[in-house]
Amino acid sequence: MTGTTSSIVRRPLRAYLFWLVLATLLPGVVGASILFAQQYQKARVQIEKNTLQTARALVHSADNKLRQGLAIGQTLTTLDAFDTGDFARVHRQAREALSLAGGRMSAVLRDRDGQQLMNSLVDHGMPLPREPSAQLERVFATGQPAVSDVFTGAVRKRPVVSVDVPVRVDGEIRYVLSIGMGSDDFTGILTPKSVPEGAVASLFDRHGIIFYRNINRAQSIGQPVNPLLRNAVNRAPEGSIDSRSREGKPLLTSYARSSFSGWGVAIGIPRENLRAELLGQLALMGGVAAALFAIGLCLAWLIGGRLARSVQALTGRAEALGKGEMPPPITDVHVREAADVAAAMGDAAALLTERSRQLAAKESALRETHMLARFGTWHW
């Protein structure tokens, strides 16, 4: 109505549809944000779980290597040459057995004083050093095989580990046969195929001394692990902690320790890699959500446009109806209700046209009657 004012702010139909879509999607956006945060935590837990399972498998592989040395040592202790003290024969057969096993393992025979009586690394008859140790005394005392910690070999002059097996002669422990292994014998364990990409993996002994590492190996062997990892291993045989690599990188480290040897494997995933992987997953989810959000807005824009054009198309018909003219045909109405209104306007216009025609006919008849009767003047 003209000449009046209203405090109501009138906006296009398309704007209201936009707001409707936003109001509908807003709870979904909030829910998706909460879901993303939960998904981030779940993904981190899953990565920890997978890394821990990998550490367990690698500890098992390391134990298998040590058990191989134990089996070789126990087999060699059954040689008859020990009964006669034929160390030359022991030396020859030990070399043959180790060559069949492959790798660079060695065999060392010592008495109670630690004196080496045979060493497969050198020719028999060469002078051999005396090498007493607490490990040697323990094997003589208990009569049980044992896995050593990392130590520097008297002949190799580099870090090695040994599996020490008692040798009985006439029912008495007379010697200890040690099967020694260097870090090269464990090369096939911490490989790129077995360790997650970009991860730092270490094999360490009961005291946390590194024996093998997939990164900066030469500088790391014989060095202690991070104190945080060492304390965690002392508290529990396996788990996950936040720590740092020897290079200073923040890590999410999962570790497992063997019940057989006491040795352990730690796998540290750099936090930057972890964040990149998790954020990559979240970015994918966020991208999908944003795409759906954009599709919703686009559909609202298109549908709103159709609704607006359908309503606006009625304007011309309403104006024609007000002028008493026949409304023009409509072609851009996509809403059934708007089409029904347009059809009703057409019907109303046809009815008004018919009423006008009838009224005009009656008016014409009255004029003729007036003229015939010559009665007064008609004013319309």
Model's pTM, two decimal places?
Answer: 0.68
Q: What is the mean pLDDT of residues 142-160?
A: 92
Task: Please report where in the chains the tokens 């040697």 appear, as a residue.
Answer: 136
Phi, psi of 77 (to 5 degrees): -65, -10
pLDDT confidence of residue 310? 67
Q: β-strand 146-147 against 151-152: which pairing, if any? A: unpaired
pLDDT band at 357 (very low <50, low <70, confident <90, very high): confident
pLDDT confidence of residue 220? 93
CA pair distance 154, 121, nearest whole angstrom: 11
Lowest mean pLDDT among 137-141, 158-162, 265-269, 359-363: 359-363
Percent of the residues in the chain that have a pLDDT greater than 90, as a whole number: 48
Asked if residues 253 and 238 have their Cβ atoms less than 8 Å apart, the reply is no
DSSP lists the bridge partners of residue 177 as 109, 165
Name which residue leads in pLDDT, 237 or 354.
Answer: 237
Q: Is the dihedral of CA 234, 105, 142, 60 positive or negative?
A: positive
Q: How far is CA 207 from CA 154, 220, 355, in A?
A: 20, 15, 109
Domain boundaries, the chain: 68-181
Percent of the residues in the chain that have a pLDDT greater than 70, as a whole number: 77
CA pair distance 229, 242, nearest whole angstrom: 9
Task: Please report where in the chains the tokens 């046969």 appear, as a residue.
Answer: 177
Q: What is the mean pLDDT of residues 260-285?
A: 81
pLDDT band at 297 (very low <50, low <70, confident <90, very high): confident
Q: Tell me which CATH code domain 68-181 carries.
A: 3.30.450.20
Q: Is the dihedral of CA 301, 303, 304, 305 positive or negative?
A: positive
pLDDT confidence of residue 278? 66
Averaged pLDDT score across all residues of the chain = 83
| Encoded tokens for 48 | 């920890």
pLDDT band at 16 (very low <50, low <70, confident <90, very high): low
Q: What is the mean pLDDT of residues 247-276?
A: 90
Asked if residues 215 and 203 have their Cβ atoms less than 8 Å apart, the reply is no
Q: What is the mean pLDDT of residues 295-312?
A: 72
pLDDT confidence of residue 146? 96
Q: What is the mean pLDDT of residues 126-135?
A: 92
pLDDT confidence of residue 334? 63
Q: Per mean pLDDT, which of 151-155, 310-314, 324-328 is the most reliable?
A: 151-155
Name which residue leads in pLDDT, 178 or 16.
Answer: 178
Residue 3 has pLDDT above 60, yes or no: no
Task: Please report where in the chains the tokens 């050198």 appear, as a residue.
Answer: 122
